[in-house]
Structure 1
Amino acid sequence: MEQAPGGPQEPRGPQGVPRLPDCYRHPGSETGISCTRCDRPICPQCMINASVGYQCPECVRSGSGTGHSASAQQPRTIAGGSLHGDPALVTKVLIGLNVAVFALVLSLGERFVSQLELIGYAFSPQLGEIVGVAHDQWYRLLTAVFLHQELSHILFNLLGLWFLGRMVEPALGRRRFLALYLLSGLGGSTLAYLVAEPNQPSLGASGAIFGLMGAFVVLARRVQLDMRPVVLILGVSLVLTFTRPDISWEGHIGGLVTGAVIAAGMVYAPRERRALVQSAVCGAVLLVMVVAVLARTSVLT
């Protein structure tokens, strides 16, 4: 194996077939990206956005090079978020909130559920009054996202949150991840409110979980991962959504689309105006939801 003039050795696979170099921090992870400062190959897990190209963690930590501001040398996620010691902190907090609400459901019973579940407009026998989003109870669009009644339901959703959250949160950063999760949950609730029967209650974190799934598809595409297993997982999830009984497909699809749109706005935003574009995308999605809920409310009332 010879070294090309003026550059590193060209790795070759079996029978001399050229292959991409391995990440210097993760042997076995091929990559076509190099640090703009030291020129070492870095995989998507290691690359940190810089004013031009990407940098490796060592160069960012050492602040090598001159003419860069302190903020430009801070490690950033692919979406521009800050890196932290615990990359899954928000995921753990969300799991804790879901478990805490589930404990309240077990202790307070059906009446507590009736006060928080998503319902469009109906008479509640438990509360003895008209309830619903159309009855000025907009909070139900969000509280239902943290509400579960069955142990199997919450276990399945929290397993998905733990699996997807540990991949999406480190890629976006804490604040962006939390915004995506909450807006995805609201997106699922909004579509359910628009399409489902107004007296049909629904609850659960599935819309937010599907939002993380949509975000993961966008992230995988952004860092050029093999999309086949990602598409397979998404396909199986959609088949289960439309074939299993008592599933709010509206919540799943609403969350999936919302999560994908927001994630695309976050990871494809231009670096120069990234925060502004990301905020605008989140604001636009929220505005669409508000308009849709107002329109549906005017029809029901």
Structure 2
Amino acid sequence: MDQAPGSPQGPEDHSAQPARSPGCYRHPDRETGIRCTRCERPICPECMVNASVGFQCPDCVRGASGGGPAPTAARPRTIAGGTVTADPRLVTKILLGINVAVFIALKASPSLRDHLVLVGTWPPAPFTPTQGVAEGEWYRLVTSMFSHEAYWHLAFNMLSLWWLGGPLEAALGRARYLTLYLVSGLAGSALTYLLASPIQASLGASGAIFGLFGATAVLVRRLNYDMRPIIALLVINLVITFGWSSIAWEAHIGGLVAGVVTGYAMVHAPRERRTLTQYGTCALVLVVVVGMTVLRTAQLT
């Protein structure tokens, strides 16, 4: 994505000089490679305060606890440039609530399922198709992301959403986190529509959840944390994905790839072009989603 620009040298300086790390904002004589995850100022080990994601500086910690930031402190931001909020799980709670509400609605009215699931054409031949994405019902790419039929399926996805979503929402900010979730889910739906049987109905938030897995791996790597736990969990889920015949593996892989690409843009975007890089990458992923959908529709009609 982006490469850090090299340090400029004087016109007569032909020797390679090692790049100096910035000095701590409170102790300028102490070089450090760590930055506050809220305001992004460099901080030395003495000034680092453990946070739910990375480290924060003393000023941001005082501001979060009600003491107010120092007058010269930059506005608190997440590692991805999002706004720090009082409830870092609000969007996660809303997404969880929507999934549960749709599940209850499906249990109350089973016939609603046929209008929400992801299917290319329905009913199958020799009947004339009247429903499906190929018939113009593109909304199914979205509604299927919030639909579940089995209790265990809902429980597994919602536990994963709560476990992965909270830290990601805190690290990215609400808008970026929601964008990541939706883009990943749409990528999973589009790849399922492209590769799966046109009469195979699928539903579930798994595509979006695997997008959160991918973005979490990128974030963990960015913060130099131990990646073994997230890799082990991801491998286990991939084994289940390809080992269980009733699982739409296309949604998992599509969501995972979109989550890695989008997550990388979110946490590695250069500060001076951060918003353009982040949302521009999301737009490119959505272009691919639209392209896959148009291609499959042309094949089926």
Identity %, equivalent residues:
47
How far does the alpha carbon of each residue in 1:122-179 deviate from its partner, in whole angstroms, 9 at most, with x for none?
3179x99521111000000010000011111111111111111112111111011111
Q: Which has the higher contact order (CA 8 A, sep 6+)?
A: 2
Paired with 2:98 and 2:33, the residues of 1 have a C-alpha distance of 41
Q: Which residue of 2 aligns with 1:74?
A: 75
Question: What is the aligned residue count?
Answer: 258
Paired with 1:284 and 1:63, the residues of 2 have a C-alpha distance of 39
Instruction: Report the CA distance shift for 1:183/1:236 in structure 2 as closer, same or farther (over 3 A).
Output: same
1:167 aligns with 2:167: yes
1:64-103 aligned at under 5 Å gives the runs 64-65=71-72, 73-103=74-104
1:57 to 56, 60, 67: 60
Q: Which residue of 1 aligns with 2:272?
A: 272
Paired with 2:118 and 2:43, the residues of 1 have a C-alpha distance of 54
**TM-score of the superposition, structure 1-length normalised?**
0.80
1:47: how far off? 4.0
How far does the alpha carbon of each residue in 1:24-78 deviate from its partner, in whole angstroms, 9 at most, with x for none?
xxxxxxx962664774135573546xxxxx885147742354xx7xxxx211111
Which runs of no fewer than 5 residues in structure 1 stay unpaired? 1-30, 49-53
Instruction: Report the CA distance shift for 1:120/1:208 in structure 2 as closer, same or farther (over 3 A).
Output: same
Instruction: Report the CA distance shift for 1:89/1:221 in structure 2 as closer, same or farther (over 3 A).
Output: same
For the 8 Å contact 1:117–1:144, the answer to whether it is kept is yes
Paired with 1:33 and 1:56, the residues of 2 have a C-alpha distance of 15
Give the AA of the match of 1:187.
Answer: A
Q: Which residue of 2 aligns with 1:263?
A: 263
Give the AA of the match of 2:100.
Answer: V
Paired with 2:59 and 2:42, the residues of 1 have a C-alpha distance of 8
1:41 to 41, 48, 52: 48
For the 8 Å contact 1:46–1:56, the answer to whether it is kept is no
1:280: how far off? 0.5
For the 8 Å contact 1:42–1:56, the answer to whether it is kept is no
Instruction: Report the CA distance shift for 1:103/1:59 in structure 2 as closer, same or farther (over 3 A).
Output: closer
How far does the alpha carbon of each residue in 1:200-246 deviate from its partner, in whole angstroms, 9 at most, with x for none?
00000011111100110000011011111121111111001110230
**TM-score of the superposition, structure 2-length normalised?**
0.80
Q: Which residue of 2 aligns with 1:23?
A: none
Q: Which residue of 2 aligns with 1:297?
A: 297
For the 8 Å contact 1:119–1:193, the answer to whether it is kept is yes
Paired with 1:167 and 1:34, the residues of 2 have a C-alpha distance of 18
1:273: how far off? 1.2
Q: Which residue of 2 aligns with 1:179?
A: 179
1:133-212 aligned at under 5 Å gives the runs 133-212=133-212
Which runs of no fewer than 5 residues in structure 2 stay unpaired? 1-31
For the 8 Å contact 1:187–1:255, the answer to whether it is kept is yes
SS of 1:83's partner is coil
1:110-149 aligned at under 5 Å gives the runs 111-123=111-123, 130-149=130-149
CA RMSD of aligned residues (A): 2.3
1:283: how far off? 0.6
Paired with 2:147 and 2:140, the residues of 1 have a C-alpha distance of 10
Instruction: Report the CA distance shift for 1:34/1:55 in structure 2 as closer, same or farther (over 3 A).
Output: farther
SS of 1:84's partner is coil
For the 8 Å contact 1:47–1:55, the answer to whether it is kept is no
Instruction: Report the CA distance shift for 1:56/1:285 in structure 2 as closer, same or farther (over 3 A).
Output: farther
How far does the alpha carbon of each residue in 1:72-117 deviate from its partner, in whole angstroms, 9 at most, with x for none?
x2111110000111100000000100111011101111x2000110
1:280-291 aligned at under 5 Å gives the runs 280-291=280-291
Instruction: Report the CA distance shift for 1:210/1:266 in structure 2 as closer, same or farther (over 3 A).
Output: same
